[in-house]
Structure 1
Amino acid sequence: MSGTWGTDGARDRDVEGRPRSARPRDGLGRPLPYGTAGVERQPEGVPRTPEQTVAEAQALLDDGKPFHAHEVFEDAWKAGPDQERALWRGLAQLAVGLTHAARGNDTGGVRLLRRGAGAVDEWASGAGDRPYGMDLAGLTAWARELADEVEAGVRSVDARARAPRLRGHAAR
């Protein structure tokens, strides 16, 4: 049997009836036991301007919550104009890559950091490297550097300390 089941044995569902885990999550998006205080989840499907997306994602990254930043980027990816979807998807992959690296999933972290860097770099080559003030060249360099470090055996990645700067200098 698969799915997410609540403490009463009923399957967790969102307000529209779709299966969705109601378990609380920590700052890296890992599920916690029911009844535990967790980090408030990002609502899905929130319409934001690109500038709002960048600002909200940066605040979450700065707070050490790359999983939650990924959800903000995912909204932009799914709702944005077709010509920008690859950009937002690549940024979501960077955030998930940082999430996996911080969780200790080195293989997943490296893979997603490299995939996201490639997508962002490819998008920038055709559309420019500073959409909405973001430093795409700096972000790809940050992601590739972090992927190299994780691949080389860095013991732990602190999501807050290693969060990228979406605008300006990408690495801290």
Structure 2
Amino acid sequence: MSSTSDTRRDRDTEGRARNARPRDGLGRPLPYGTDGVERQPEGVVRTPEETVVEAQALLEDGKPFHAHEVFEDAWKSGPDEERTLWRGLAQLAVGLTHAARGNVTGGARLLRRGAGAVEEWGADAGRSRPYGMELAELAEWARQLATAVEDGGAAVGAREWAPRLRGGKT
């Protein structure tokens, strides 16, 4: 590899590749030098309450990609018995991201996968409202959105379709 291509690769302090390109609100890369949306810091350990509040604010702001990163932090740092819950919520957020980007197939698939995960976790754990979240309503929201995306065949508005994690529509 030439030194020229080395300088084009974004690397962290340990030499791992990191893409520092600016991103839009749906996480799509923008050209270098463009003003993008501030990224969510990675690897933040939050309480479950902080996770839900921060993810909800990002969803309402039309940034489901960023909400996905918040859920991913909870999935990776939380207790093993909650991994399926947080992973399912991350799948819902990234499913909305794909649906908003116009990726009909990927969006619908991730929304349904996430819906199944949160329902399964709720049933296995015997809890339908962890941290005040309405899992049955979230699963229903995800399935409705998956159907709407497939039927419409086009991108949806991320803000307009943002779920209420603790029940009801935004």
TM > 0.5 fold call: yes
Question: Distance between the aligned counterparts of 1:15 and 1:25, measured in 2?
Answer: 21
Which one has a larger percent helix, Structure 1 or Structure 2? 2
Aligned CA distance change for structure 1 residues 55 and 16 (closer, same or farther; 3 Å) = farther
Show the counterpart of 1:131: 130
Displacement, 1:168?
2.0
What is the letter of the counterpart of residue 124 of structure 1?
A: G
Superposed CA RMSD: 1.7
Displacement, 1:14?
2.5
Question: Distance between the aligned counterparts of 1:105 and 1:130, measured in 2?
Answer: 30
Question: Distance between the aligned counterparts of 2:15 and 2:74, measured in 1?
Answer: 23
Question: Distance between the aligned counterparts of 2:8 and 2:43, measured in 1?
Answer: 25
Show the counterpart of 2:64: 66
Question: Distance between the aligned counterparts of 1:8 and 1:18, measured in 2?
Answer: 12
1:11-65 superposed Cα distances (whole Å, 9 cap, x missing partner): 1013443211000000000000000000000000001000000000000000000
What is the letter of the counterpart of residue 168 of structure 1?
A: G
Displacement, 1:153?
2.0
Show the counterpart of 2:9: 11
Secondary structure of 1:90 counterpart = helix
Question: Distance between the aligned counterparts of 1:14 and 1:57, measured in 2?
Answer: 26
For the Cα contact (< 8 Å) 1:23–1:33, is it kept in 2?
yes
Secondary structure of 1:28 counterpart = coil
Show the counterpart of 1:159: 158
Displacement, 1:126?
1.5
* Percent identity for Structure 1 against Structure 2: 76
Instruction: Tell me the TM-score normalised to structure 1 length.
Output: 0.92
**Which structure 1 residue ranges, 5 or more long, are not aligned?**
none
For the Cα contact (< 8 Å) 2:103–2:155, is it kept in 1?
no
Show the counterpart of 2:107: 109
Alignment of 1:93-108 (within 5 A): 93-108=91-106
Question: Distance between the aligned counterparts of 1:139 and 1:56, measured in 2?
Answer: 17
Which of 64, 71, 80 is equivalent to 1:82? 80
Task: Tell whether 2:45 aligns with 1:47.
Answer: yes
Question: Distance between the aligned counterparts of 2:129 and 2:7, measured in 1?
Answer: 49
Instruction: Tell me the TM-score normalised to structure 2 length.
Output: 0.93
Show the counterpart of 1:141: 140
Displacement, 1:141?
0.3
For the Cα contact (< 8 Å) 1:7–1:34, is it kept in 2?
no
**17-26 or 34-43, larger mean C-alpha shift:** 17-26
For the Cα contact (< 8 Å) 2:104–2:155, is it kept in 1?
no
For the Cα contact (< 8 Å) 1:23–1:32, is it kept in 2?
yes
